[in-house]
Homo-oligomer: A and B are copies of this chain.
Amino acid sequence: MSFAPHSDPSRGSERPLPASAAARATRERILDVAEALFAERGFAGASMREIAARAGLTAASLYNHFSGKDALYAAVLERGIRPLIDLMEGMSQKGHSPEAVDALICAVMHHLGRRPHLPRLVYHEAVAGGAHLARLAGQWVRPLVERGLDAMEHAPGSYWDEELRPLVISAWIHLVVGHFAMAPLLREVLGRDPFDPDMLELQTRFLRRLATLQQAGTDPSHLTDD
């Protein structure tokens, strides 16, 4: 039930001090179970008591690490999304060549596949329009959109009209994140788990081919796969 911490202690925005190693471990454990439960039930549906229980604590103890439910939720979001932001920032320096786009798709898919709860978390927030949506949008999604628009603008001869481009970006988000966020539904309908390495590889292939197809729209002379 607990996924790899992936913590980046050099960036601890909440508790700057190193604290004890045990305390940091507890904190990560809380964040792990909270991420899972928030993803499963949404903010309102997840209870501090159950988060605590799953982390092997009492509800009261949570308050030694986070000042409240909201702060815990924010920390979960922060920890989950930060790597994506970093990913994108690193990417923006590598230009928008087809290879770079291809690499970005692979990297994002890989990251999301490793943190299975994050997409659902984001979707819960996105669908509900909760209090943290603004920050989520501003810090993560908007930069991504702008980068994407930039890339399309600088592409030699884009297939898409300028007014359609935002929707293209939006579509890419739906496709990339949605695949994981809707995992419960897809499991039910397709009978296969989107997190299965097979499915993961398949979806990656699908997305890359889609990217190819899109670029082919400009010059559709060479449609090849892998």
- Knowing A206-B171, A222-B219, the reply to whether A184 touches B133 (Cβ < 8 A) is yes
The listed residue (B170, B184, B209) touching A190 by CB distance below 8 A is B170
Give the number of copies in the complex. 4
Q: Is the CB of B133 within 8 A of A123?
A: no
Q: Is A57 in contact with chain B by the CB < 8 A criterion?
A: no
CB atoms of A225 and B212 under 8 A apart: yes
Residue A42 is within 8 A (CB to CB) of chain B in the complex: yes
B141–A189 touching, CB < 8 Å = yes
Which range contains the number of A residues in contact with the other chain?
Answer: 35 or more
Q: Are B45 and A181 in contact (CB under 8 A)?
A: no
Interface centre among A127, A174, A203 (most CB of B within 10 A): A127
Task: Tell whether, in the assembled complex, residue A189 and residue B45 are in contact, meaning their CB atoms are under 8 Å apart.
Answer: no
Separation of A190 and B181 alpha carbons in the complex (Å)? 21
A193 within 8 A of B: no
Task: Write out, one digit per residue, whether chain A residues 148-176 have a CB within 8 A of any chain B CB (1) or not (0).
Answer: 00000000000100011011101100110
Contact check, B203 vs A167: say whether CB atoms are below 8 A apart. yes
Do the beta carbons of B127 and A123 come within 8 Å of each other?
Answer: yes
| Interface assignment of A29: CB less than 8 Å from any CB of chain B | no
What residue of chain B has the Cβ atom nearest to residue A206's Cβ? B167
Residues of B within 8 A of A138 (CB): 188
> Nearest chain B CB to A109's CB is how many angstroms away?
13
